[in-house]
Chain A
Amino acid sequence: MMTREAFKWIRPIRAAMCGLVALALAGMVGVAWAQEEFKYGAVSPVTGPIPQFGEYFIRGSQLALEDLEKTGWIGGKKIRIVLEDGKNDPKVSLAAMNKLISVDRVPIVETVGSSVVLALGPVAQQNGVILTNTAAQNPNIRKIGNFIFSLVPLADRVMQSTAVHAVEGMKAKTAVMLYVNNEYGRGVAETFKKIFEEHSGKIIGHEIHAQGETDFTTPLTKIKFANPAIVFFVGHDNELGYALKKAKQIGMKIPWLVAPGVFTPLSLSIAGDAAEGVQAADYNFDPVAGTERMKAFGKRHQEKFGVLPTFATAHSYNSVTLYAAALKAGARKPAEIRDYFLSVKNFDGMAGPLTFDKEGITTEQPVMRVIRGGKFVTLK
């Protein structure tokens, strides 16, 4: 039982504690003020069927932050990445996007995956938040709104040169499409089919696979027996690696044409010599035989992470550094950042000069590459 003597100490102790709490709060506010920073949101598939794209984002943004740190950030103020795992699932990604907008109050969000971009785009547009797309190709992304920026060209532009290459470069009259079962796969495949058939080609069949699929035995068996002039593949880099590996195992000799950005060092590491002769529409970024800057980036990435960077890594790097450039130019609100992005001409990006058209899509043109001797060789 407490005595009257003990009670007389309670008031001073309580006062002291209140003082300490007040001091601590004041300190926290002070620290927060001193460390004011810019936020950069990302909804990236760190887990789920294509977790490698989460890694591509993490590595690209990390290298961008290192470079920004070397140049003194934005007048001394840091950029902080707020990363949410979207699992490449539109529902999960939407929840992550809403959290980034309402809780973290980020002015910009980067993401990948056509299904995800098509889901997040309207939310970004409605809330006046910039959404940068660093890998998705579905042509419908173009229609979402003026807060959406694609650092990769969309299928409607890319498929033109890809389908023409199939008909004229590969002399293909027939094709079977093997594509991933999502907005990306369907969007790109439908666009390819339309342009290929306009150029007198004929699609004689299609097979669909799940995201993250590792077993392609059944669809490839059916394609082998259908015997088209080419197989046109749309999917992710890991899926392509497994498909090529299996195609060689089952003795398939049909040439492959691959949608842009699918063929990466990861595909090559999985497929090995089964990738020989595969032709792919690709982006300008080439860490092996590209510009000196690309090669230096490739070397630095290889030393730090043990693998060569992909186009998605380079575009994540570009997205962060472009945002930093907008901040340096004085843009703070999303609308100001949007206007800066639209005004940029030939931004010195890691994947070559970056300019957006009036709909916010990069004007980059794809190149055709072939795998020879385990290396990407650009076709003339």
Chain B
Amino acid sequence: MAYWLLVQLALNGIATGCLYAILAISFAVIFAPTKTFHFAHGSVYVYGGYFLYQFAMEWGWPLPAAVPAAVLAAACLGVLVDRAVYTPLRKHGAGVMEILLSAFGTFIVLQNVLLLIWKSDPRTVRVPEGLKNGIPFGPLTLTPMDLITVVVAGVVVAGVAVFMRRTRLGKAMRALENDPEVAVMVGISTERVRMAAFFLGSALVAVAAVLTALDKGLEPTIGVNALLVAVVAMIVGGVGSFSGAALAGLFLGIVENLGIWQIPSEWKSTITFSVLAIFILFRPTGFFGHRVARYSE
């Protein structure tokens, strides 16, 4: 029976890891080309979930309409944060620390605005009956939301990979990430790429928020954990590597779940940060990326 538990934990880990992979890619899509430590990304994540709640529960929209609307609204919010906060600061010559502080401030402001609009009560989004019950396989159980998360993560990873390699905008984002000066010299519009990065990253984090809202529930404070997981996965995956971020997200989810096989589950986040510490000490380039230090220069 104990080994079935191990298998179940591994399956749970894959589902959790897929969600982490989406979070990691969403952060990496913004951080790699813009070099902005977008702390308010955690708030955009929470807003993505609350937008879904507003559309589906308060306004009664069907889920097929509410989900894309929530993703779009969160994407616009991400762009708005960049345009209203980071861009003016950057134009005034703000450095990494100033941007980081402003991002932290924006995170707090957005969280308080959320409390004003939706209050602090937890919110849930009603899901169709078919998604509520697990599917048993002998002693194991898979939930429909786990399966949906795995499929969505697969689509997101493949979609981002194709976007980055095949589209002009994706190539421009990679060029900006590799060498901003040369990218400008060859005529790439940094402003346009920044907007695209914030739009895409915010849309992706909203996808993760939608999955969380449907599977678990919404609290105003869930953004911090999501952001931490995204950052850890991005670093472990290797800064600048989207496939590395996705793989690291999956890796973290599985390690977190298997790690608590014989110890209480409260140690999950300790395991996450232990993985981060090990990577920073022994493999600072992560799975596939560059040294983090390069980005603070």
Binding site for B on A (CB under 8 A): 46-49, 51-52, 54-55, 181, 206-210, 212, 214-215, 217-219, 221-222, 225, 238, 241-242, 245-246, 248-251, 266, 269-270, 272, 274, 307
Chain B positions within 8 Å of A219 at CB level: 264-265
Q: Which residues of A contact B4 (CB under 8 A)?
A: 225
> Which listed segment binds A: B91-99, B177-185, B215-223?
B215-223
B134 contacts A206, CB within 8 Å?
no
Which chain A positions have C-beta within 8 A of B266? 181, 207-210
CB contacts (< 8 Å) of A238 on chain B: these are 122, 217, 219
Residues in B with CB closer than 8 Å to A181 are 266
Contact of B133 among A46, A207, A251, A272 (CB under 8 A): A251
B5 at interface by CB-CB < 8 Å: yes
A207 near B265: Cβ-Cβ < 8 Å: yes
C-alpha spacing A51/B122, complex, angstroms: 9
Beyond A238-B122, A241-B122, is A218–B12 a contact (Cβ under 8 Å)? yes
- Closest B-chain residue to A219, C-beta based? B265
A245 to B132 alpha-carbon distance, docked (Å): 8
A-B pairs with beta carbons under 8 Å apart, 30 shown: A47-B115, A52-B122, A208-B264, A212-B219, A214-B212, A214-B222, A215-B216, A217-B12, A218-B12, A219-B264, A221-B5, A221-B8, A222-B260, A225-B1, A225-B2, A238-B219, A241-B124, A245-B124, A245-B216, A246-B216, A248-B133, A249-B133, A249-B143, A250-B141, A251-B134, A251-B136, A266-B121, A270-B124, A272-B126, A307-B121
- Residues of chain B within 8 A (CB-CB) of A242 are 216-217
Interface size band for B: 35 or more
B106 contacts the other chain (CB 8 A): no
Quick one: closest A residue to B256, CB to CB?
Answer: A218
Q: A47-B115, A246-B216 are in contact. List 8 more A-B contacts (CB 8 A).
A: A49-B221, A51-B120, A209-B266, A214-B222, A218-B260, A219-B264, A245-B216, A272-B126
Distance between Cα atoms of A314 and B292 in the complex (Å): 53
Which of B16, B115, B132, B220 lies in contact with A217, CB distance below 8 A?
B16
B135 to chain A, nearest CB (A): 9
Closest to A48 in B: B221
In the complex, chain B residues whose CB is within 8 Å of the CB of A206: 264
Residues of B134-160 whose CB lies within 8 A of A: 134, 136, 139, 141, 143, 145
Q: Which of B1, B5, B124, B134 contacts A250 (CB 8 A)?
A: B134
Q: How many angstroms between the C-alpha atoms of A225 and B3 in the bound complex?
A: 10
Do the beta carbons of A51 and B220 come within 8 Å of each other?
yes
Q: Is B119 among interface residues, defined by CB-CB distance under 8 A?
A: yes
With a CB–CB cut-off of 8 A, which chain B residues contact A222?
5, 9, 260, 265
